[in-house]
Amino acid sequence: MTDAHERRSRLVVLAGPTAVGKGTVAAEVRRSHPEVWISVSATTRKPRPGEENGVHYWFVSDEEFDRMIAEGDLLEWAVVHQAARYGTPRQPVDLALASGRPAMLEIDLQGARQVRETMPDALFVFLKPPSWEELVRRLVGRGTESAEERERRLVTAREELAAETEFDVTIVNHEVHAAAEQLVALMTHSPTDL
């Protein structure tokens, strides 16, 4: 493996449609590979039951999010599902990469495109559902959105699925542990080895 490839693999950007399982797979990586650093995003969305500030997200006000943008604190940010703003705090990413830890961002397509511009050496991974029907089942089964919000998310999901070819690698999330292991392997192996 070349030095260039090692640099390329250390930051993984994970994206994919709503409810494909990005958060679940990221939680599995956190559980089984504590050596991997995972970014905690800031969002203006309200917490879901069980979500903790600083663990799942930094839940911030619109004013605080405006301040973070103005002060250049965010590596990327976007309005997602036409509903709330989400962004990646820049400094923790820089610190994780400087410390040599493998690092991962779990963000939407718009954010991934921004990171592609500023950090083209990152590895862009698309998490894909086994089928559209299974994606809808997971979204409904999660039970965290209203029917109206689910519809909005599925509109974005169609656009995100169409962007798969922009990514370096696709992982199909059939099973959570297997998907997490494939993701971690990408941080240490060439995609062509898998």
Ligand X SMILES: Nc1nc2c(ncn2[C@@H]2O[C@H](COP(=O)(O)O)[C@@H](O)[C@H]2O)c(=O)[nH]1
Contact of residue 20 among ligand X, ligand ATP, none (CB under 5-8 Å per partner type): ligand ATP
Give the phi and the psi of residue 174 in degrees, each rounded to 5.
Answer: -75, -45
CB 74 within 8 A of CB 68: yes
Binding pattern for the stretch 160-189 against ligand ATP, x by CB under 6 A and - elsewhere: -------------xxxx-------------
- Rounded alpha-carbon distances, angstroms, from residue 97 to 12, 90, 100, 157: 11, 11, 5, 30
* Residue 16 labelled as part of a binding site: yes
Q: Which is nearer to ligand X, 68 or 187 (CB)?
A: 68
Based on the shown chain and the rule CB under 6 A, indicate whether residue 24 belongs to the binding site for ligand ATP: yes
Residues 121, 4: Cα–Cα separation, whole Å:
9
CB 17 within 8 A of CB 157: yes
* Residue 21 labelled as part of a binding site: yes
Based on the shown chain and the rule CB under 6 A, indicate whether residue 19 belongs to the binding site for ligand ATP: yes
Stretch in the footprint of ligand ATP (CB under 6 A) among 7-15, 18-26, 34-42, 67-75: 18-26
Q: Which is nearer to ligand X, 18 or 173 (CB)?
A: 18
CA pseudo-torsion sign 187, 191, 192, 194: positive
Residues 144, 71: Cα–Cα separation, whole Å:
33
Residues 7, 102: Cα–Cα separation, whole Å:
10
CB 102 within 8 A of CB 36: yes
Binding pattern for the stretch 77-106 against ligand X, x by CB under 6 A and - elsewhere: -x-x-----xxx-----------------x
Judged by CB under 6 A, the chain residues 13 through 52 that form the site for ligand X are: 18, 22, 41, 45
Give me the residues that bind ligand X (CB under 6 A), please. 18, 22, 41, 45, 76, 78, 80, 86-88, 106-108, 110-111
Give me the residues that bind ligand ATP (CB under 6 A), please. 18-24, 138, 141-142, 173-176
Binding site residue list for ATP: 16-23
Binding site residue list: 16-23
